[in-house]
Chain A
Amino acid sequence: MSSSLSYAYYPGCSGQGTSIEYEQSSQAVCKALGITLQEIPDWSCCGSTPAHTVDHTLSAALSARNLGQAEGMIVNGVITPCPSCLTNLKTASHRMKDETFRAKTNALLEKPVNNTLPIMSVLQVIYEQVGPEKLKEKVVRPLTGMKLAPYYGCIMNRPPDVMDFDDCENPIAMDRLMEALGIEITPFPLKVECCGASYGVARKDIVMHLSGKLLDAAEDCGAEAMVTACPLCQMNLDLRQGQINSANKTNHAMPIFYYTQLIGMALGLDEADLGMKKLCVDPGKAFRKMEARKAEALEESVVRRSGN
């Protein structure tokens, strides 16, 4: 199994800092699911948001350098947890299908890139190569009773012809994986809305407005926590939740998980390896509500049985 699910792993910069818990939990979950991750040697920044706003070729070169580093490895493809890194890697690869663009990009690189490796998110690999069915079999601690709003962010699936994964308006990969853990998925309508992304630095008001809307909508549809697959989304919703509350005069206390953290919990992995303590809004609340609902359900079934 390990040989068939072996990938070159691109952690991305935020995984080293602000989203270290995403990075840790992704590694832990992949290990538990038999996905072998080989970190790309001497990987560098993908260019993030600034590079492609300035120069497409330069931006592609920054990402492509990492693809080139991976090309010598014996792997099925390059995978990364971060949708922003994913977009840059995939866009670079997509643009380099054009011979002229590839030549221009390769001219900037020490080692020319053949552009042969497929690029995927960790989510896509878990969803397509492991799948909800197999994941369900491995669950030791079901998260039954938890009510979640699944939030994918705006770039995980878009533009669809580049990203080539799931439905770009109504993605379901994370829904199905969470359901496999026993979690109840609420009909969250803003799955692919923008959280405000990096405007948190330059125009905080935009993030307050957009992320605020996400939190409002999640609460409206009865979710007790949200689950994300993006470091930036998670940061805006979690770290800035207090700022959002004071800007919008709201009272949200909505735990914001990475989907890998919840899979890890259900697989019975050590909480320390999942970085639960790194979350800003106390995640304990979501688990307490889950336990309460579990107990309630148990009581009900006991009553029903004794009634019979």
Chain B
Amino acid sequence: MKIGVFVCHCGSNIAGTVDVVKVAEEARKLPDVAFASDTMYACSEPGQDGIINAIKDLDLDGVVVASCTPRMHEPTFRKTLERAGLNRYMFEMANIREHVSWVGKDKEANTKKALDLVAMAVAKLTQGKALISKKFDINKRVLVIGGGVAGIQAALDCADGGLDVILVEKTTSIGGKMSKLDKTFPTVDCSSCILGPKMVDVAQHPNITLYAASEVEKIDGYVGNYQVAITKKATYVDWDACTGCGLCMEKCPSKKSTDYFNEEVGTTTAINILFPQAIPKKASIDADFCIKLIKDKCGICAKVCPTNAIQYDQQDEIVTEPVGAIIVATGYDLFDYTKYGEYGGGRYPDVITSMQYERLLSASGPTGGHVKRPSDGKEPKTIVFIQCVGSRDKSIGRPYCSGFCCMYTAKQAILTKDHMPDSQSYVFYMDIRAPGKLYDEFIRRAMEEYGTQYVRGRVSMLYPKNGSLVVRGADTLLGKQVEIEADLVVLAVGAESAVGASKLAEKLRISYDNYGFYMESHPKLRPVETNTAGVFLAGSCQGPKDIPQSVGQGSAAAAKVLVLFSKDQLESDPQVSVVDIKRCVGCGKCIETCPFGAIEEIDFRGMTKSNVIETICQGCGICTSTCPQGAIQLQNFTDNQILAEVNVLCQQTLEKSFE
């Protein structure tokens, strides 16, 4: 076998702490190595050309590149091999950057370790063989999870691109957080006026099937062929019959139901339509408050409904949808500020969240757009905004910046002055973060045209006094303590991952960070992909984002799905388990241990044998270590390949111990 070894400098990333010339020199002495050299950037065009030329000139059978993590460039180099006419699996990568040069400073030790890794890769490759991908048909339907603005954008773009879209929304209407906002920064245009038409487009698009009040229960299958079980939660109303007339809401006597849409500013009726522009505009019953469902009395909504849509005995229903790709757009939730004792921990009614304030400002909100403070319904004159509540604070486990709070606080300060010209707003801030188009100008407007007083410092405590709230904080620019008597305090609560985000991630088999935000495939270059093929991300489920960013990601994810679906067939990864039918004794242990249900029992000339369903196998290798016969082998990670690596590593140690 003739193997070529290429040791990458990666500029000074590797060459700074590894003697790459020596690694190449030593590699040349390894068995089966026909060629070895060092190269400045193996991934660059001249670097790849060098590999191709060596393959052609020396008639190489396989290539080892010693460079960075395979997560980024393994696909790059496999393509390089294909261009030179080799099978893409006759390639091994030794990670001498993340595993060597970046973690150690001792050049001699690093060089030794790099050589070990190269020797292992070469040994593994000598036992490797060409693998051929198979092609399979794909289902060109897409599932979008979450009907906020990111999910709406993704669904519309996919649908306009000709795909069938299944849009699943947890609540009874799409619209997400944006539908609760009064205005949007930095243009101060009406949120529902710009979102509403998009929501209507979703309802009317012939390619979109909308499941509201529904959640993803289970996901089986693989890229191109997923089976998704969706639970349609009982709304106790037949949505096919409901016309959204709202008569039931008018007559419902249970008027103290939790008003989730209005962030619990005020109450709603047990049967309700989430908000006037809801899509779908259908009524649903909150079982926690419905007198009929709790005490079996009342039943007024059933009597008044002109279309007999009320169904008190409705049950949850599960539907299964086959799809080929999934866009996750499950958004975020707001930080629970009651963790902060210094802001009253939820004890003071006139300390509210920014989202509650948004509902007070909204013309379709519980106060009709008149700002009335919760305690006594009076119009506040002095309003204090506190920023970074649940952001940039290690002490409560939220060290990250939520990104959009500076901007929405400025917007709310501007709106406050618009609503109440004789009011005065104060903003306590740490730093102003406004790095967007027209963003900083917007902050300046809040300060200069609207007279908002910005105080740089944190608030240490607030307490009630004579019907108002004394807000005490530091003014770090003046170096003194300030106290402001406020009629209303608005907390700019930060973003955190959506409730249940981790559970959904496990169903999707995607990873999430310490805070529950989903991990993208690459933070810069693959921002909407995940490491699970066919699953894409859009919006705040990946990290806090404002509207333009969320919409941008919605479109980006849709584009990725359209690219994926531009072919009729996909190639399967041949790095899956294969059963050696002669060795298999049909014990079935592999079937029990496979976490993906990828192994089935077959009858082979009257004998029981195992068989791997290639498209379901994820290549984890659990079956190979379970099989007592060594009959099942993970391709490209066979026992022989791994033993070859171990051998070459242990031989060196042995030699040393005899010295």
Interface residues of A (CB under 8 A from B): 167-170, 187, 189-190, 193, 217, 220
Q: Chain A residue with minimal CB distance to B466?
A: A220
Return 5 A-B CB contacts under 8 Å, by A number: A170-B345, A189-B464, A189-B465, A217-B463, A220-B465
Contact with A along B460-490 (1 / 0, CB 8 A): 0101111000000000000000000000000
Residues of chain A within 8 A (CB-CB) of B463 are: 189-190, 217
Q: Is the CB of A170 within 8 A of B464?
A: no
* A161 nearest CB across to chain B (Å): 9
Number of A-B contacts (CB under 8 A): 21
Decide if A168 touches B341 in the complex (CB within 8 Å).
Answer: yes
For B341, the closest partner residue in chain A by CB is A169
A214 CB to nearest chain B CB (Å): 11
Which residues on the B side are within 8 Å of A220 (C-beta)?
465-466
Instruction: Pick from A167, A187, A190, A193: contact of B341, CB below 8 A.
Output: A167
Complex contact A170–B466 (CB within 8 A): no
In the complex, the chain B residue whose C-beta lies closest to that of A221 is B464
Question: How many B residues are at the interface, by size bracket?
Answer: 10 to 19
The interface residues of chain A lying within 8 Å CB-to-CB of B465 are: 189, 217, 220
Are the C-beta atoms of B345 and A169 separated by less than 8 Å? yes
Q: Could you tell me the distance in whole angstroms from the C-beta of A199 to the nearest C-beta in chain B?
A: 15
Per the bound structure, the CA–CA distance linking A170 and B461 in Å amounts to 11
Report the Cα distance A190→B461, complex, angstroms: 9
Cα A168 to Cα B342 in complex, Å, equals 9
Chain A residue with the shortest CB-CB distance to B340: A169
Q: Which residues of A contact B461 (CB under 8 A)?
A: 169, 193
* Best-buried of A167, A168, A170 by chain B (most CB within 10 Å): A170
Decide if the interface of chain A is mainly helix, strand, loop or mixed: loop
Q: Is B437 an interface residue (CB 8 A)?
A: no
- Chain A nearest Cβ from B520, distance in angstroms: 35
* Chain B residue nearest in CB terms to A190: B463
Given the complex, which residues of B lie within 8 Å of A189, measured CB to CB?
A: 463-465
The minimal Cβ–Cβ distance linking A293 to chain B, given in whole angstroms, is 24
The minimal Cβ–Cβ distance linking B336 to chain A, given in whole angstroms, is 15
- Minimum Cβ distance to chain A for residue B574 (Å): 55
Is there contact, CB below 8 Å, between A169 and B464? no
Q: Considering the chains assembled together, what is the distance between the CA atoms of A267 and B305 in angstroms? A: 64
Least distance between A217 CB and chain B CB atoms (Å): 7
Q: Using Cβ atoms and an 8 Å threshold, which residues of chain A touch B340? A: 169
B residues 336-372 in Cβ contact with A at 8 Å:
340-342, 345, 347
Residues of chain A with a CB closer than 8 A to B345's CB: 167, 169-170
Q: What 3 pairs between A and B have smallest CB-CB spacing?
A: A169-B341, A189-B463, A170-B341
Within 8 A of A (CB), among B242-300: none
A167, B340: Cα distance in complex, Å: 11
* 8 Å CB contact of B342 from A169, A187, A190: A169
Give the complex CA separation of A168 and B340 in angstroms.
10
Tell me the residues in window 419-462 of chain B with beta carbons closer than 8 Å to chain A beta carbons.
461
Distance of A170 Cα from B463 Cα, bound (Å)? 11
Closest to A169 in B: B341
Minimum C-beta distance from B339 to chain A (A): 10
A187 to chain B, nearest CB (A): 8
Contact residues in B for A187 (Cβ distance below 8 Å): 347
- In the complex, residue of chain B having the shortest beta-carbon distance to the beta carbon of A188: B463
**Bound form: Cα–Cα A217–B472 in Å:** 15
Q: How far is B461's CA from A193's CA once the two chains are assembled, in angstroms?
A: 9
The residue on B at minimum CB distance from A161 is: B395
Our pick among A168, A170, A190 for the contact of B347 (Cβ within 8 Å) is A170
Would you give the shortest CB distance from B94 to chain A, in whole angstroms? Answer: 42
Q: How far is the CB of B464 from chain A (nearest CB, A)?
A: 6
Q: Mark B3-14, 1 if CB is under 8 A from A, else 0.
A: 000000000000
New A-B contacts (15) at CB < 8 Å, excluding given A167-B345, A169-B461, A170-B341: A167-B341, A168-B341, A169-B340, A169-B341, A169-B342, A170-B345, A170-B347, A189-B463, A189-B464, A189-B465, A190-B463, A193-B461, A217-B463, A217-B465, A220-B466
Q: Within the assembled complex, what's the spacing in Å between the Cα atoms of A169 and B342?
A: 6
Enumerate B298-351 residues with CB–CB distance to A below 8 Å: 340-342, 345, 347
The residue among A169, A170, A220 with the most chain B CB atoms within 10 A of its own CB is A169
CB of B581 to closest CB in A, whole Å: 63
User: Whole-angstrom distance from the CB of A159 to the nearest CB of chain B?
Assistant: 11
- Residues of B within 8 Å of A193, CB to CB, are 461
- Measured between alpha carbons, how far is A217 from B465 in the docked complex, in Å? 8
CB distance from A31 to the nearest CB of B (A): 34
Q: In the assembled complex, how far is the CB of residue A18 from the closest CB belonging to chain B, in whole angstroms?
A: 29
Which residues of chain A are near B464, meaning CB under 8 Å? 189
CB distance from B84 to the nearest CB of A (A): 60
Note all chain A residues with C-beta closer than 8 A to B466: 220
When distances are taken between beta carbons in the complex, the residues of chain B under 8 Å from A190 are: 463
Output the least CB separation between B150 and chain A (Å). 37
> Roughly how many angstroms separate A213 CA and B585 CA in the complex, as a whole number?
85
Smallest CB–CB gap between A4 and chain B, Å?
32
Contacts of A217 on B, CB cut-off 8 Å?
Answer: 463, 465
Residues of A with C-beta under 8 A to B342: 169
Least CB distance from A188 to B in Å reads 9
Complex CA–CA separation, A169 to B462 (angstroms) = 11
- B462 closest partner in A (C-beta): A189
Query: Nearest residue in B to A189 (C-beta to C-beta)?
Result: B463
CB distance from A23 to the nearest CB of B (A): 31
CB distance from B466 to the nearest CB of A (A): 7
| Distance of A148 from chain B, by nearest CB (Å) | 17
CA distance A189 to B342 in the complex (A): 10
How many Å from the CB of A154 to the closest CB on chain B?
11
Give Cα A47–Cα B566 distance, bound, in whole angstroms: 77
Bound form: Cα–Cα A169–B341 in Å: 5
CA–CA, A190 and B470, complex, Å: 11
User: How far apart are A119's CB and chain B's nearest CB, in angstroms?
Assistant: 23
Q: In the assembly, what is the distance between CA of A169 and CA of B340, in Å?
A: 8
Cβ of A193 to closest chain B Cβ, rounded Å: 8
- Tell me the smallest distance from the CB of B145 to a CB of chain A, in Å: 39
How far apart are the CA atoms of A58 and B203 in the complex, in Å?
74
Residue of A nearest to B342 (CB): A169
Alpha-carbon gap, A168 to B345, bound state (A): 12
Question: Which chain B residues border A169 with CB–CB below 8 Å?
Answer: 340-342, 345, 461
Rounded to whole Å, the gap between the CB of B630 and the closest CB of chain A is 52
Q: How far is the CA of A190 from the CA of B347 in the complex (A)?
A: 13
Q: How far is the CA of A170 from the CA of B464 in the complex (A)?
A: 14
Assembly CA distance A193 to B342 (angstroms) = 11
CB distance from A77 to the nearest CB of B (A): 27
Q: In the complex, what distance in Å separates the CA atom of A1 from the CA atom of B405?
A: 55
A217 to B469, CA, bound (A): 12
State in angstroms the CA–CA spacing of A170 and B466 once bound together. 20
Q: How far is the CA of A187 from the CA of B341 in the complex (A)?
A: 14
CB distance from A286 to the nearest CB of B (A): 23
Taken together as a complex, chains A and B put the C-alpha atoms of A10 and B175 apart, in Å, by 63
Q: Name the B residues within 8 Å of A168 (CB-CB).
A: 341
A48 and B244 CA atoms in complex are apart in Å by 71
Q: How far is the CA of A190 from the CA of B472 in the complex (A)?
A: 12
CA distance A193 to B347 in the complex (A): 17
Q: How far is the CB of B397 from chain A (nearest CB, A)?
A: 14
The smallest C-beta distance from A221 to any residue of chain B, in angstroms, reads: 8
CA distance A40 to B418 in the complex (A): 67
Complexed CA–CA distance, A169 and B338 (Å): 11
Report the minimal beta-carbon distance from B544 to chain A, rounded to whole angstroms.
26
A190 to B460, CA, bound (A): 12
Chain A nearest CB, measured from B346 CB (Å): 10
Complex CA–CA separation, A220 to B465 (angstroms):
8
* Minimum Cβ distance to chain A for residue B611 (Å): 58
What residues on A are CB-neighbors of B341 within 8 Å?
A: 167-170
Tell me the minimal C-beta distance from B99 to chain A in angstroms.
34
The residue of chain B having its C-beta at the shortest distance from the C-beta of A167 within the complex is: B341
**A205 to nearest B CB, angstroms?**
15
How many Å from the CB of A195 to the closest CB on chain B?
15
With both beta carbons as reference points, the residue of chain A lying nearest to B469 in the complex is identified as: A189
With both chains docked as a complex, state the minimum distance between the C-beta of A123 and any C-beta of chain B, in angstroms.
Answer: 19
CA distance A169 to B465 in the complex (A): 17
Identify the interface centre among B340, B345, B463, B466: most chain A CB within 10 Å of its CB. B463
Given the complex of chains A and B, what is the CA–CA distance between A217 and B466 in angstroms? 10
